[in-house]
Structure 1
């Protein structure tokens, strides 16, 4: 067993690969029948990792459900009608259901692999990067030396993605505040609104525990749901004939649709973090688990919302559907204010993952105990300031959203779960007709094709836009 005096989980994750590397090498030298015997008598399966998890402030199933809904119902939903404009209503309907279900399925596979590794090596808790390191060590000999680099890459992309989400949130909040400010006060540059957001965002980001973010999630969910009700009331009025809308669009625009759907539906870091902080993590998965219940509601809503938005506004659909509302009326103005406030309260939840990785797994183990709290707050403040500066530099909401979704989530939500599954099942085999092998390969291929195409398309659009401005 590892010593209990280790200063942090990051130190633990550094020690794990070396120890498990020796164990894996010893095991692979034994006859294959030994593995079968060991599994049949229940040596590894008798260990239940959920019992050995000690979260500081664990959440109930309902609190986890609320946070899942909150991390999914964000700015990505407002971009879904524009995504349908890029794909066409028929292609959009089918693709939203398929892509969303496929990504959630990949998350189930990843979470089951994490639980399997915890049982196999008798570990109470693994994060995404530790899972990747340990899985690679279970894979072929030639890939095992890359375990640590893979772990660092996972941490990097998790940080980049959730930091990118916060940047998108800053852009979104500032744009909506500018709409209201221009009508009722004086006209100011949007970058000034972004700068003014810095202090309020810092206040919410200083909250350190997920459990204490639940009240913010409740407030945010209520505000956003009321806002969606207002938006839908305008969408359902004066609907044109569906034949006036394109059932499909040129396939050159489809990568932007793919990136937007990934951004809207997927929040892999939060999904993994929520299970680790549950009182009953065994209720998270399964056909009627917390994850499925939340994501089924989200997928249905996203599909219908995107479809209705495109049906109503057609090729005039804006990158944020709020911009299609009659902004001179009071009700849309209330919707804009509520959604901006709801996203404001969501900022800390998305930023939690970035801060958790940077601080808990990289910085805290290298610091003296009496200096940690004040420095942690300084790092939190620095992250907020950095997200505001990036938003000021790249204020296009729709294209920034598509790029972040394509570049990061294709890897975190599809490619890396495929790699983990290939390695975890390497010794045991991939089942009948190598089903698990081809399933993992499908994750990787879809992630690569969609990620590359979406990233190139959104970068090209960003480049063209800024070239026109210059």
Structure 2
């Protein structure tokens, strides 16, 4: 009989008995999915929405200690060798996907973020938040790999990592494993549907500026949102992901061209550096935090990427695909924020495209291009939360699945538009989603998962640094959550 975990830890030999599914044959858990789903979820910041094959009552099969498995096997099992990948990605492909998944429309909001921190403080703080976010990604991937090895599972998603961590953690937390998975999936859904609301505001605000200039009208931005609703409903009745993939290609081209032209305008006639304050004020820092973390955070990207790599051990470490990719991402976001705020100062809008000239056709074309790109992106952003929600309510529409799914899609699209109409201020909306969802997903949850997963590991459980740094990450996330939410609600009220 293998010795208990506590006894092994006391003897300086940490070997956790592997956790295996409680099934007749202790079959290996694998994940389903297609290459297209992998690619789509990588780009749009969410785990693959596939469930483990072995299911019980709608949740992952409980994992239990197996007395028939020798503890030595834990040292021999390599989860990377058990991943069945149809098209594994190279280090270079993974690097490109990481850039595509992390560089989104949020970069256009970075000048506003820097405005609320100050020119130089904003840039330095962007690098600091980027470093913290990257470190949280490191500990999430490291913990997932550790749990895969310990429990003989080839790969894990974000929510599944939390569930397995709680099942492998202190006995008192085992009963909260399903709750941990549900909480992360809930925040992912809120984050993605919140982004859909932001897209509605973004598209409407840019179209309003163009149309109002050429028509001489001053229509309420809410009217543009209402006019978008039927087109969004029609677009999101498409359930086949393959039919949506061309929209992604078109959106990528439009955003690339639009960003290039935007940088052209930003870099013309820049004022001197001393024309902008070094530091704004302490009261404005929560706005910077919420906006910056909304733009920078790509925690949902990493595990689908790592799971699909030909050489997963190259993803984290030093040097690594993650470090190189995030260095470029943070650098680009910092440069955009720095130059955008330097150019437009206190007149910087929630998205820098709104600062472009209204009397030049090329500048106006940028707003139309990026608005169209974001409009097309809505359907891809919308796909993943719909799959998560539908999977959990599908049983209620037995025999009427098509009706139920179409009804859910229509109602949810209408809901995102109505919420955007109720909260039409783009800047506070971005801050709110960043503070509420991404401070939890990107900062708090990785630290909590690591604490739970390594609770009795002798290299960690007795380390003050292990407790201090994870305590700091959780505290930092909670502080950002509270202050960012409070400030964004105040901005909504004042607006």
Q: What is the TM-score normalised by the length of structure 2?
A: 0.80
Match of 2:408 in 1: 379
* Residues 288-367 of structure 1 aligned to structure 2 (within 5 Å): 290-360=321-391, 362-364=392-394
Aligned equivalents of 1:112, 1:153: Cα separation in 2? 21
Which of 216, 227, 243 is matched with 2:258 structurally? Answer: 227
Aligned equivalents of 2:393, 2:88: Cα separation in 1? 24
Q: Deviations over 1:168-195 (max 9, x none)?
A: 0110001111122223347443223212
Match of 1:438 in 2: 468
Aligned equivalents of 1:212, 1:291: Cα separation in 2? 30
Aligned equivalents of 1:62, 1:426: Cα separation in 2? 35
Please list every run of 5 or more consecutive structure 1 residues that lacks an aligned counterpart in the other structure: 28-33, 466-470
Match of 1:426 in 2: 455
Q: Secondary structure at 1:402's aligned position in 2?
A: helix
Asked if the contact 1:67–1:217 (Cα under 8 Å) also holds between the matched residues in 2, the reply is no
Residue 241 (structure 1) shift: 1.5
Q: Deviations over 1:258-317 (max 9, x none)?
A: 0001100113334444555x3647277235655444433321111000000111111121
Match of 1:88 in 2: 118
- CA spacing shift, 1:437–1:138, aligned 2, 3 Å: farther
Asked if the contact 2:59–2:178 (Cα under 8 Å) also holds between the matched residues in 1, the reply is no
Q: Does 1:123 align with 2:153?
A: yes
- CA spacing shift, 1:344–1:435, aligned 2, 3 Å: same
Aligned equivalents of 1:208, 1:295: Cα separation in 2? 32
Structure with the greater relative contact order (CA < 8 A, sep ≥ 6): 1 or 2? 1
Q: What is the TM-score normalised by the length of structure 1?
A: 0.84
Match of 2:130 in 1: 100
Aligned equivalents of 2:93, 2:234: Cα separation in 1? 22
Q: Secondary structure at 2:357's aligned position in 1?
A: coil
Asked if the contact 1:49–1:122 (Cα under 8 Å) also holds between the matched residues in 2, the reply is no
Aligned equivalents of 2:276, 2:490: Cα separation in 1? 26
Q: Secondary structure at 1:193's aligned position in 2?
A: helix
Which of 397, 409, 415 is matched with 2:444 structurally? Answer: 415
* Residues 114-263 of structure 1 aligned to structure 2 (within 5 Å): 114-185=144-215, 187=217, 188-206=219-237, 208=239, 214-263=245-294
Q: Secondary structure at 2:187's aligned position in 1?
A: helix
- CA spacing shift, 1:452–1:210, aligned 2, 3 Å: farther
Greater helix fraction, Structure 1 or Structure 2 = 1
Aligned equivalents of 2:251, 2:493: Cα separation in 1? 34
Please list every run of 5 or more consecutive structure 2 residues that lacks an aligned counterpart in the other structure: 1-20, 30-49
Residue 436 (structure 1) shift: 3.3
- RMSD, aligned CA: 3.3
Q: Secondary structure at 1:255's aligned position in 2?
A: helix
Residue 405 (structure 1) shift: 0.2
Q: Deviations over 1:297-355 (max 9, x none)?
A: 32111100000011111112122212222111111101111111221232233223312
Q: Deviations over 1:405-428 (max 9, x none)?
A: 011111110101101000111122
Which of 438, 453, 456 is matched with 2:483 structurally? Answer: 453
